[in-house]
């Protein structure tokens, strides 16, 4: 039996997504590639019993990755912060995830490798958390 205080995490690192994003209209006129990293903690009830090599007892990272790609492409946004919040809210609502940290890297500013945002949200709590 797994402890309810388990610190297990499942991650997707460096997922390339395409989005129309940016504050100026000119920036949103063309799609941009972003890198998304999602770090998720499974809900404790998923791990109440041994995994037994059963995907239904964990987070399906492929399904989460596909959903993140869909969210990034579904509509233009001005802020990567908004995209991070949208991703976090959808993953918490649609998957057996207790918490998620979403990191988005954007490659638009000169003389920098990237700019980005890191957002953490928890199941059962409002967007302001």
User: Each residue of 57-111: pLDDT tens digit?
Assistant: 899 999 999 999 999 999 999 999 999 999 999 999 999 999 999 999 999 999 9
Structure tokens given for 45 = 């009830």
CA distance 35 to 32: 10
The listed CATH number (1.10.3470.10, 3.30.1130.10, 3.20.20.100, 2.30.30.90) that belongs to domain 10-122: 3.30.1130.10
CA distance 118 to 85: 10
* pTM for this prediction: 0.90
- 23: which 2 tokens? 């504050």
Give me the pLDDT at residue 5, please. Answer: 55
């Amino acid at each position: 039996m797994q402890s309810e205080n388990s610190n297990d995490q499942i991650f997707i690192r460096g997922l390339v997504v395409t989005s129309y994003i940016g504050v100026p209209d000119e920036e949103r006129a063309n799609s941009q590639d972003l890198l998304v990293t999602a770090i998720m903690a499974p809900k404790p009830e998923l791990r109440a019993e041994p995994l037994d090599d059963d995907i239904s007892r964990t987070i399906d990272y492929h399904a989460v990755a596909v959903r993140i790609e869909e969210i990034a492409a579904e509509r233009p946004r001005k802020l990567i912060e908004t995209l991070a919040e949208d991703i976090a809210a959808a993953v918490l609502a649609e998957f057996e995830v207790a918490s998620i940290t979403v990191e988005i890297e954007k490659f638009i500013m000169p003389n920098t490798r990237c700019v980005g945002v890191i957002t953490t949200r928890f199941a059962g709590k409002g967007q302001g958390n």
